[in-house]
Structure 1
Amino acid sequence: MTISPLPTAFVQKLSTKLVLFSVLATGIGQSMTFALLAPLGREVSLGEIQIGFIITCSSLTFTLTSPIWGRTCDLWGRKPVLMLGLLGYTFGCIMFASVFFFGIKGLLSGITLYVLAIFSRVLMASLMSATPSAAAAYIADTTTVEQRVAGMGTLGAARTLGAILGPALSGLFATIGLLAPLYIAAGITLFSTFLVAVVLQEPIKVASRPKTKLKLSFFDQRYFPFILIGFMTFFAFSIMSQTIGFFIQDRFSLSGQATAQALGMGMMVSAVMSFFSQAFLVGRVKMTPIQLINIGLPILFLGYALLPFAGSIAVLIVFLGILGFGLGLVSPGFTSGASLSVGPKEQGAVGGLISACPAGGFVLGPIVGTSLYQINHCLPYYCSCMLMLPLIFYSLRFGRKRK
C-alpha cells in the first residue's frame, strides 16, 4: 500500500501560510525589541540619543542589505534566502539580549556594552533583511495581477499581527524579566525556521530565473514614487515610535516596567487597527494602490497632530490606534504598487527595495526624533505631522498623472 502525495495546490497553500508565519515570527521579535529598548537602555544607563543610534545603525544595515537579498533570492530561490534570514534573526536576537543581560548584571558597562549592543543589532539586521525580501517575492510569485494588492495586504497583515502579539507578549513576560520576551522571540523564530526547512516548497516559476543578479535602481520611474512614499511614511513613523516610550514615561511619571506595559498596550492597539485595515478592508474593498495611499496619508496626519494633546494613557492609546489604521492602508498601497510596476523576473529585486523602505525610514528617524525630544517632548510628533503634508499632495499629483 502506497501513500499518495499531497495535492500540489494544498502544498502551495501550506507553503504560503509558512511564509506568512515566518514574517509573523520576525514581526513579533521586532515589536518586542521596540517595546523594550527604551526601558532596557535606561536600565544600563544609556541616553535617549544613544538608544536611537542603535536603531539607526541596524536600520541603515537593513536598508543596504535588503536589495542585495532581493536580488539574491532571484538567483538562489526563495526558500534558502528565507531560511538564512530566519536563522540570522534567531542568532542575532540571542546575542543582543545577552549583551543587555550582562549589562544588567554589571558584567558589561560603558563603551564596551554600547559597542556590543550596536554590533549585535547590525549583525542581526544584515541577515534578517533576507526574510521580508524573500517573502515579498514569494507572494508576488504566487499571486496574479488581480490578487497582488490583496496578497501584499495579507503579507502586511502577518507582519502587523506580529506587532500585535509582540507587545502583548512583552508586557506579559516583562513581569518575569525585561529580557525574557527577547529569548522567547528567538525561540519562536527558530521554530519557524524548522517548519520552513521541512515543509516549504519553491513557488512555480512564472519566469525563467536569471543567471546573474538583476539590479534595479531606487530611482526607476516605474516604481520610484511608491518607494519614496514608503520611505517617507516610515521616516515619520520612526520619529514617533522611537520617542513614544520616553513620552509615556515622562508625561505620566511611570517606572521602567510600567512604561513597557503601557507602551506595549499602545503598540498592540495600533497594530490591531493596522491589521484590521490590511486583513479586512484591503482584501474586501477593491481599491487601487494609489487610492489606499490617498486615504491612509491624511489619517496619519490626523494621528500625529493629536498625539501631543493626549491627557491620559487611554487617550494616547486611541491616537496610536488612528496611526495604526492609516499605516495599514498606506503600507499595502506602496508595496503592491511597486510590485505591479515590474515584470515577473524583477519581483525579487523590487521586493528587496520594498523591504528597504521601512528600514530606510528608521535610519535617520530615531536620531531626528530623540534630538527633537530633548528640545521639546512634543516636537517629534509635530515634525511627523508636517512631513505628511507634502506627501499627501505628492501622492495626489502622482495619482492623477499615473491615471
Structure 2
Amino acid sequence: MNKIKGSIFFSVFVAMLGLMLIAPITPSLIRELGLREIHSGILISVGSIMTAVMAPVWGNISDAKGRKPVILIGFIGMSISTLLLTVTFYCGLHQWLSGGLLLFFMIVTRSLVGMFIPAVLSSSQAYMGDVTEEKERGSGIAIISAANGLGLILGPAIAGVFTLFGLLWPLYFGIGIATVAFIVNLLLMPADKPAMTRGSIKVSPFQPGLRNYLFVALVTMIGIVTIQVIGGFYLQDQLNLASEKLAGVVSLGLMLSGTAMLTAQYVQAKWLKWEPRPMILLGSLILVASMLLFLLTSYLPFYYSAFFVFGLGSGLMMTGFMTGASLSVRNEQQGGVAGLVAAMQGISAIIAPILSIVLYQANRYSPMIMIAILTALLGAVIFARFRKRPGHNASDRTEGREIHPGTEVRGRS
C-alpha cells in the first residue's frame, strides 16, 4: 500500500511540476521570439483547454484499461510533447522558424503537453480512490493534494534556477523528470485491473452528489488562479512596489500559500481525517477571511499573512472536493470522476485569467470581492446541507451511486 501511495504522490508531483515549469518561462520566450503578449495568453489557454477536454477522456480510459497503463502513457506523452515544444522554441530562437509557422507549431506542441498531463492526474486520483477505504479516503486524497501543492511551490522555483543556464533549460529538466517518472512507475507501481465491468455506466457531471463537489472544485480553482494572475498587480498598486522588487515579493507570497496548502493537507491526512463537507465548510470560512485580509490591510506583512491564510483555506477545500467527488461514485467510476475534477481545474484556468483581469481593470478590489462572495455563498450552501442532513457522512458515500442491473460493484486490495 505504501508503495502505491508513494508512486501516486510522485506521479502527481511530476505532472504538476511539468505544468509549472512551462508557465514561468513562456512570457520571456515569447518576447525573445519577437511575438506579442497575446500569443503567451493563447499558449496558456490552449494548454488549459486541452486539459479540460482530455481529463474526462483519460479518466474513462483508465476505468476501462487500468490506471498504470494510462499513467505510463501520460508520462511518455509528456516527455515527447515537451521535447517537441522545446525543439520548436529552439528553432524559433535560432530563427529557423518564424512568424505564423512558428506560432502554429508552438500551439500544436503546447496542446500536446496539455493533452497528456491530465492522463497522469486523472488516473492517479482514481488509483488512490481504488486503494483506500471510504473512511480513509480523505487521508489518501490529501496525499494527492499535497503533491499538487508541492508541484505548485517547487515548479516556479526550479524553473527560476534553471533559467540561469538558459531559457530552455527548465524544459530540458521537464523532459528528464517525466522520463524518470515513467521508469519509476514502470518498475515500482503495482499493476492493476480495469475497474469497469460489463453493465457499468460512465459517470455524469450532473448526477446527484457529484455535481455539488464539481461546483466546489470550480469555485476553489477560480480563486487559486485569480490570486496567481492578479496578486502581483494588486500588491504593486497597493504598496507602490518597484517592478524589480515585485517578482520577489509575489514569489514569496505564493510560496507561503503553497506551504500553507501542504500544512493543511498534512494535518488533514495525519490527524483530522474529516469528512468532505466539514473540510469544505471550514476551508470556505478561512478563504473568506483571507480575502478580507487582502482587502482591509495596507502593510506587506499582513499581505503575506493573507497569502498564508488563503493557502490554508484552499488546501482544505481542495482535499474536500476531491474526497467528496471520489466518495460520491462507485469504484468502477473513479477514473471518470477524477477526470471531471481535473476538467474543472482546466476550465478554471481558462475563464479565471480573463475574468479576473476584466474585473481588476474595472476596480482593483473586485476580484477579491468576487472570490469572497462566491466562497461565502458556497459555504452557506454546504452549511445548509450539513444541518439539513445530519447523516451527511453516509450521504457522501452513497449519494449518486445507484446500483444498476448487471453492474458489479467491487473494490480493490
- TM-score for the superposition, normalised by structure 2: 0.83
1:386 maps to 2:373? yes
Q: Is the 8 A contact 2:268 2:274 kept in 1?
A: no
* Alignment-derived partner of residue 83 in structure 1: 72
Of 343, 355, 375, the residue aligned with 1:356 is: 343
The one of 143, 149, 155 aligned to 1:160: 149
Q: What letter matches 1:126 in structure 2?
A: M
CA distance in 2, matches of 1:34, 1:200: 29
CA-CA distance at 1:232 after TM superposition: 1.7
Amino acid at match of 1:185: G
The number of residue pairs the alignment matches comes to 388
2:266 maps to a residue whose letter is: A
Q: What residue ranges of structure 1 are gaps of 5+ in the alignment?
A: 1-11
Match of residue 117 from structure 2:
128
After TM superposition, give the deviation of residue 160 of structure 1 in Å. Answer: 1.2
**Match in the other structure for 1:96:** 85
TM-superposition CA deviations, 1:120-170 (whole Å, max 9, x none)? 222111122111111011111111111101000111111211222223222
Give the counterpart letter for 2:375 in structure 1.
Answer: M
| Equivalent residue number for residue 232 of structure 1 | 219
Q: 1:52 to 1:291 in 2, by over 3 A?
A: farther
Which residue does 1:19 correspond to in 2? 8
How big is each residue's C-alpha offset from its partner over 1:286-328, in whole Å with a ceiling of 9 and x where there is no partner? 3210000001112222323434667576654432222211111
Q: Per-residue CA shift, 1:34-54, capped at 9, x if unaligned? A: 344445445556666543443
2:308 to 321, 326, 341: 321
Deviation at 1:385, TM superposition (A): 3.0
Structure-to-structure mapping, 1:131-146, within 5 angstroms: 131-146=120-135
Q: 1:348 to 1:244 in 2, by over 3 A?
A: same
In 1, distance between residues paired with 2:33 and 2:373?
A: 34
Instruction: Please tell me the residue identity of whatever aligns with 1:301.
Output: V
> Aligned AA for 1:368?
L
C-alpha deviations, 1:175-205, integer Å up to 9, x for none?
A: 33343223212211211111111222124x6
Shift of 1:343: 1.6
Per-residue Cα deviation, 1:204-224 (whole angstroms, up to 9, x for no partner):
x6x964258742111111311
Match of 2:136 in 1: 147
Question: Alpha carbon RMSD of aligned pairs, Å?
Answer: 2.9
Is 1:194 the counterpart of 2:183? The answer is: yes
CA distance in 2, matches of 1:103, 1:225: 45
Following TM superposition, by how much is the alpha carbon of 1:400 offset from its aligned partner in structure 2, in angstroms?
Answer: 3.0
Task: Give secondary structure in 1 for the equivalent of 2:243.
Answer: coil
Could you say which residue in structure 2 is the equivalent of 1:4? none
CA spacing shift, 1:105–1:366, aligned 2, 3 Å: farther
Deviation track 1:250-271 (CA, whole Å, cap 9, x = no partner) reads 753325xx66555443332211
Report the TM-score when normalising by structure 1. 0.85
Q: Is the 8 A contact 2:92 2:98 kept in 1?
A: yes
Range moving further from structure 2, 98-107 or 86-95: 98-107
Partner Cα separation in structure 2 for residue 346 and residue 91 of structure 1: 29
| 1:58-110 alpha-carbon deviations (Å, 9 max, x no partner) | 22221121111111111111111001111222233333344445555555555
Query: In terms of mean alpha carbon deviation, does 266-275 or 33-42 score higher?
Result: 33-42
Residues 64-75 of structure 1 aligned to structure 2 (within 5 Å): 64-75=53-64
Contact 1:71 1:215 in 2 (8 A): yes
Q: How far apart, CA to CA, are the structure 2 residues paired with 1:226 and 1:39?
A: 37
Does the residue aligned with 1:252 lie in a helix, a strand or coil? coil
Please, which of 254, 267, 272 is the counterpart of residue 254 of structure 2?
267
Q: How much does 1:355 deviate?
A: 2.0
1:400 is the counterpart of 2:381: no
Q: Give the conservation status (yes or no) of the 8 Å contact 2:88–2:105.
A: yes
Question: Could you tell me how far 1:351 is from its partner in structure 2?
Answer: 1.7
Q: Secondary structure at the match of 1:216?
A: coil
Name the CA shift for 1:208/1:227 in 2 (closer, same or farther; >3 Å).
Answer: closer
> In 1, Cα distance between the equivalents of 2:12 and 2:366?
33
CA contact (8 A) 2:141 2:323 kept: yes
**Residue type matched to 1:269 in 2?**
L
1:175 match: secondary structure: coil
Whether the aligned pair in 1 keeps the contact of 2:286 and 2:313 (CA below 8 Å) is: yes
Cα distance in structure 2, aligned partners of 1:301 and 1:50:
34
1:294 aligns with 2:284: no
Q: Which moved more, 1:288-297 or 1:344-353?
A: 344-353
The runs of 5 or more residues in structure 2 that have no matched partner are: 391-413
Maintained 8 Å contact 1:248/1:254: no
